[in-house]
Structure 1
Amino acid sequence: MSEPSSVPPPGERRMRLRGLHHVTAIVADLERTTAFYRDVLGLALTDEGDNDDDPGTRHFWFGDAAATPGTLVSFLEYPQMAEATDGRGGVHHFAFQVGSADEQLAWRDYLRDRGVPCSEIFERGRFRSIYFRDPDGNLLEIATA
């Protein structure tokens, strides 16, 4: 298998994805979601209101205090929806990044101290991971850089 090239083949368009802007998940209760993502994980609640595509559906955004794309996670509230099942077309998990193995270990202990079940540290080669779930069952990862 050859190494990926950062140079596009001749004649191809020079469009480029620059990274993730945000991830959106569906939850049952935005107050419970806020208590977890803001109060436990420490993300800023950067915007709250109705969803532009589905007026009447509450939509909250979390990220850094400046709402910088790439830090954003948003949630749509649909309390009447059935729980998701795993399968093709679904999202398995989303990952947050920390700066060091020590910080990751501190997060694991912090989460456990707050009653959030959290995995042991998994060595991934290029990075390390811990896993836990939010109140709606979304699988989250904290990965080292």
Structure 2
Amino acid sequence: MSHPVKLGGVHHTALRCKDAKETVEWYARVLGMEYTTAFAEDHVPSTGDYDPYMHVFLDAGNGNILAFFELPNQPEMGRDENTPQWVQHFAFKVGSEEELLAAKAHIEAEGIDVLGPTHHGIFKSIYFFDPNGHRVELATDIGSDEQYAELKRVAPVMLDEWSKTKTAPRHADWLHEIARQEHGNA
């Protein structure tokens, strides 16, 4: 039996921003995103509440849209202080390690601190923050079909073990070994 919900991908992901214009300009300059759409309302369509907002949409490639809300009547934007900064982020795909390194050079030339590349066994990433304090990741896949298949195979076992023990299951230790070998720490 097929599932009754048929997803066609992510329509958009929406986050809050401090300044819609600054955010649109930053994503265009730093990541080359095209600004495509804006909605501005005084009342929230889903609730009817009075809460003026600007909702901007940026094209992240391949039909993926990143959106932001500027909410001038709400308290100053904050973050979840109980969650480490490295946890909440969004990641964009780039085509190769060369593109990842070129992106890093470009972003650093914009005066932005960049962490990485970090080797995750099957992909490499760089990390940085946007002007709103959101952590952004650029990642490129480097794994083999066999490695991705093995990760998919052990995923249910790892989740079950994690659920019972709350300690990291060791079913994919080979990922860490790949990263250690690349860094000469074998």
TM-score (norm. length: structure 1): 0.78
How far off its partner does 1:84 sit?
1.5
For structure 1, the 5+ residue unaligned runs are 1-10
**CA 132–12 in structure 1, closer or farther in 2 if over 3 Å, else same:** same
Q: CA deviation at 1:50?
A: 1.4
Unaligned runs of 5+ residues in structure 2 are 142-186
Q: Distance between the aligned counterparts of 2:60 and 2:79, measured in 1? A: 28
Contact 1:61 1:74 in 2 (8 A): yes
Counterpart position of 1:32: 22
Q: Give the structure 1 partner of residue 69 of structure 2.
A: 76
Aligned length: 131
Per-residue displacement from partner, 1:8-67 (whole Å, max 9, x unpaired)? Answer: xxx4635343432211110110111012111221100000121563663100000058xx
Q: Distance in 1 between matches of 2:81 and 2:65?
A: 23
Partner of 1:129: 125
Match 2:33 to one of 20, 39, 43? 43
Residue 108, structure 1, aligned to residue 104, structure 2: yes
Q: Amino acid of the residue matched to residue 99 of structure 1?
A: G
Residue in 1 that maps onto 2:116:
120
Please state whether the residue corresponding to 1:120 is helix, strand or coil. Answer: strand
Distance in 2, matches of 1:113 and 1:85, equals 30
Q: Higher helix share goes to which structure?
A: 2
Percent identical pairs in the alignment equals 31
Can you list the C-alpha shifts for 1:54-97, whole angstroms capped at 9, x where unaligned? 663100000058xx64x200000024433122446xx7100111
Contact 1:63–1:72 (Cα < 8 Å) also in 2: yes
Please point out which of 20, 24, 33 is paired with 2:10.
Answer: 20
Between 1 and 2, higher relative CO (CA 8 Å, sep ≥ 6) is seen in 1
- Structure with greater Cα Rg: 2
